[in-house]
Chain A
């Protein structure tokens, strides 16, 4: 049993965060005394955020992220950045432009993507440092990481065509209303019949299989339809509430409407294909970033098929987290409660003092804050652009998204430890439920460090 002291690297002034955004910029111009520990993990080199560009350009600071992590409402964060990206060749070190580090990463990614067979380890390594926002790179990389696109480039077009037509078929089958279904089932000539007699008693015909609109039978398509209506209404409500501050998702433009319709269709098809889990509130939040990224792909063909692509990637992403959405599994070893207690355990291993203070002294049950963090994959805690960056890391880490998520959550707690240690139940809960905006690269760096630190 090691000494109960806080490890040195944790003690540094690096971890203290202040509420205001501007302070951070000041602090990062302090002398880089504490970055010695970064030498250990080579991967984290470019993420060493706090150092001022005293060191060689490879480890340059990334001004790009200070722009995006400010907390005001975002209209289209990606558009802004992609505009910047296109100009970056001219202005090398402009404060709102892209640092040379980003350019190199973009070049690396493009090189990797254009290979005949994509090397996944390489891709993951580069992607975990963050994916630049322009040129549709993120869209392609996410599709690769989620297993939607095969590693062999030549197979891409055939795979895509196959999957897209599959989705189209799902839609046709599952989104029909019962009237259309019954009409399809009996293609027998009813039309000719009605033309022949101009007047007289209308002929009655048998109802097939007891299928009528008021049927209460379990297998009746009408009954199923009405049962599904509830879920469809729920999905509709949630989709309308997704990211109300973003024009992409909500607003009066026909663009927003078509995006909402796409989200709805994806979620309805998913709910119908998965009767075990159906639709649970929150799935829309997990779908939204995927759809956003794929829809904003500069490649026309990719953007047009964003709905089908998002569906399959959503299924893939959710497969690791399904159990969190299943109510019956709440108390089991795979459910949300067990994941939250794993997080708690993780925190205990890395920062016992904080853990003790949070759970025992101030009695902040991790369920109060971690539930949303974990089930929604941190989409609600940060602004949209930041959450995309976090997702880059979540998806690219070889340990898997769940493990990475736990590490990031732990890092989030550690970053505000000073405030947490000083606070009581109310202030801690308030802080954790409205997590302050912070430097994402910094956060991810800390999360990464937690990986190499085994339990003390």
Chain B
């Protein structure tokens, strides 16, 4: 998944396509495929996924590696990224729109197209036999750039109708855009509207669509009143950074970037106001997810997966979400303690300054005043550390908790697709039974109609089966991609965190080195 500002996200899925080949229908590998239409409605040997191929894992050369990122912005957190000069320094995304190359990985089958879901627009059953035969060379990979940044939050309007507009800037060499660099202004509801549009599209079913940041009524109201106090500033910055990460993840996704709504979002001067974003408030988002889960739980027909991949993965995803929640709680508490330390240090610095002022002995007085200054500087360091903890770790964990929720939703989508297919099969069965009855009762008119209906339902069953297969493969592919991105994302954030910490330590060392002679001079 993409990184937030100041991170360089890993190279794009193009490089990872080969892994996702696992989701391709390698007919040669799986036996399960043949059985589908033979069996009755339940239980059905469902999974048509292919067992995981072996990997020869070689990391593709990181074209937008961390080395580039590290020196640009040492204040590596959400707080200082409003740097117009360097909007895109780290927000780089590599995108491949053609038959993806294996870029060094000697394995897998690639599909013909960046993502099965998007090529679904062209054909209903994209997963094919082509996959096994295609082993692309590195050289065949075309790579394009698209960088996106969210900056310059500005309050527009007054009073309770006021809102914040953000500048969304894109830099790209992709042909599908009308220019190379462009920017638009968008408000928060626009971002939510984009998500809503993406999430209802059939073509994206099974895709892990990055969720937007949550609505926050209290924060927004406070901000409408005034944007100047520290908590408002923090709120806006937090939101800006979250929106940026959201967009970066979207453009990082091979099929989402192809979506016309995404392009419109990035390019169009004016966007129709998004309404009905109520559903996407924080609470709404969670409700949406749990509604989906409920629907699945209520399914009367039990899905019997012959390939346990989906069950296992789902369980893993649930466990992981729990673990990340725990981690997030601990980080939250850490951030609070750091903020407390800032406060304590500032108060201590003041008391030392007072002590220095009251002190008769000149040299001692001077040293104590210096001490007060050192402590003041340390307070600054603590602030930055707290911000680092928060913007890097806390937000990272929060993002992934939400993303995992989305992953669960994808699994649910697959279940519903299965359910639809089963229901269609059951209807078809009923139609056939009534046809049989009509045959026996010898009613030619009704028989004709019945036959027509059977044909109609037969094609529906085929359609739904294909949908289900497609979704299954999409989910599989998406999950694998997600796991890779997650590892890279975490790694790059941790590197950024460590860099910031190391920088802090060096500054701290300088402070102490400067103070030492002052302390020694008292005598």
The answer to whether A and B assemble together is: no
Instruction: Give A residues with C-beta under 8 Å from B.
Output: none
Instruction: Give B residues with C-beta under 8 Å from A.
Output: none
